């Protein structure tokens, strides 16, 4: 038992040293090339090497439940990375949608609000997809998405319902007053 523990600790120590040296090397190379996300890349390299060292260290003990759990967590990490990447792409896409809708509806009174709602909708759909990618069940994400959509719909209906009546009244009174002032005399009602 002591030899297995000693080998486990030796493998972990070797992995730690290797991870530290590799991280320093990657950081120096990235700084020299002008790459600005050196901390992220170096931390990722460090974590991957430590995970490999931990896996090799656990292999010393043979098959056991801890190794099985660790293997399942390591197998899940690429899904987490893809979910994170999808969330980042969704954020960029939501920002683009917000700017495009804001430019398109800039002349309208509610253009800015509608552009924010469009961005929130894209964010919501992308985050539900990202959560589905990392393995969160749809029985959890779908009710949240439906709740958000219902709230957005209720706000739109209430806001437009109230403000739309006012704007229609203004438009109708303006449409009636415009011909009267253009002609300079009142228009006789049609019989």
Contacts of 66 (CB under 8 A, 6+ apart): 58
Residue environment code for 126-162, b if the CB has 16+ CB neighbours within 10 A, otherwise e: bbbebbbbbeeeeeebeeebeebeeebeeeeeeeeee
pTM above 0.85, yes or no: no
Using an 8 Å Cβ cutoff, are 105 and 111 in contact?
Answer: yes
Indicate whether 173 pLDDT > 70. no
Local confidence band at 180 (pLDDT 50, 70, 90 cut-offs): low
Local confidence band at 185 (pLDDT 50, 70, 90 cut-offs): low
Query: Could you write out the DSSP letters of every residue in 84-124?
Result: HHHHHHHHHHHHHHHHHHHHHTTTSTTHHHHHHHHHHHHHH
Local confidence band at 99 (pLDDT 50, 70, 90 cut-offs): very high
């Amino acid at each position: 038992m002591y030899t297995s523990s000693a080998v486990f600790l030796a493998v972990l120590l070797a992995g730690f040293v290797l991870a530290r040296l590799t991280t320093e090397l990657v950081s120096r190379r990235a700084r020299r090339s002008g790459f600005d996300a050196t901390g992220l890349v170096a931390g990722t390299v460090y974590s991957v090497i430590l995970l490999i060292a931990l896996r090799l260290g656990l292999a010393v003990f043979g098959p056991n439940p801890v190794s099985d759990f660790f293997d399942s967590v390591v197998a899940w990490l690429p899904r987490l990375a893809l979910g994170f990447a999808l969330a980042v792409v969704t954020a960029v896409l939501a920002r683009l949608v917000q700017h495009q809708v804001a430019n398109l509806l800039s002349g309208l009174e509610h253009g800015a609000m509608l552009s924010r709602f469009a961005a929130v909708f894209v964010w919501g759909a992308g985050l539900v997809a990202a959560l589905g990618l990392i393995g969160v069940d749809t029985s959890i994400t779908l009710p949240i998405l439906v709740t958000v959509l219902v709230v957005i719909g209720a706000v739109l209906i209430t806001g437009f319902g109230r403000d739309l009546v006012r704007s229609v009244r203004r438009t109708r009174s303006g449409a009636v007053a415009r011909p009267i002032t253009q002609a300079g005399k009142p228009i006789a009602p049609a019989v």
